[in-house]
Amino acid sequence: MADDVIDADELDPGFKYEISKQPGGENLKLCFQCGTCSGTCPVRAINDKYNPRRIIRMALLGMRKEVLCSDFIWLCSTCYACHERCPQNVRIPELMFAIRNIALREGNIHPVYKGYVDALDGHGRLLEVGEFENEKRVKYGLPPIAEEKERVRKIFHHTRIKDRTDGKLKGGEACATEGSK
């Protein structure tokens, strides 16, 4: 498909219903495309690749592959500025999580999340807390922190997210041909 031409034969009319069934995606169809979210979004202000109104429009149209295989669904910083102003309570940050969850199941995850998953697997938290940090905590009257990676690994075992980010699960074939935009 040419970059700016939509091929109706490639649209998936069920995509909006698929998203609406995900936790956080329930209000997708309430959007009436006013653009307030895009006018509010600080990420959109510095990177026009990310445009929440446009992503919602693409999702409503059924541009499943283009949405799920793109980098831009990972750019929302979850600041909730749009949520405060959306007249339709679309709950855009939660909607982005819903779309990301579908993308993840399809094998598409932004590489930066592999770093997060590896850190959680290694330390049970996003930042390592070692002897140095604990000495500082004790000095300021705070209790030391122990790594709790076993608890996190149990979650990983059930969700298989690390297998996904390590490329050990099937998936992503649809995006492999589409490429990341």
Name the residues that contact ligand SF4, by CB under 6 A.
Answer: 31-37, 40-41, 43, 52-53, 56, 76-82, 86-88, 90, 92-93
Give the CA count within 13 Å in the CB-facing half-sphere of 77. 10
Nearer to ligand SF4, 78 or 159 (CB): 78
Give the CA count within 13 Å in the CB-facing half-sphere of 9. 1
**Shortest distance, CB of residue 84 to ligand SF4, whole angstroms?**
9
**Shortest distance, CB of residue 42 to ligand SF4, whole angstroms?**
6
Nearer to ligand SF4, 31 or 68 (CB): 31
Distance CA 119, CA 94 (A): 24
Distance CA 95, CA 92 (A): 5
Nearer to ligand SF4, 93 or 107 (CB): 93
Burial label, 103 (beta-carbon count in 10 A; 0-12, 13-18, 19+): buried
Distance CA 22, CA 154 (A): 23
Nearer to ligand SF4, 67 or 86 (CB): 86
Distance CA 109, CA 68 (A): 9
**Shortest distance, CB of residue 95 to ligand SF4, whole angstroms?**
8
**Shortest distance, CB of residue 94 to ligand SF4, whole angstroms?**
9
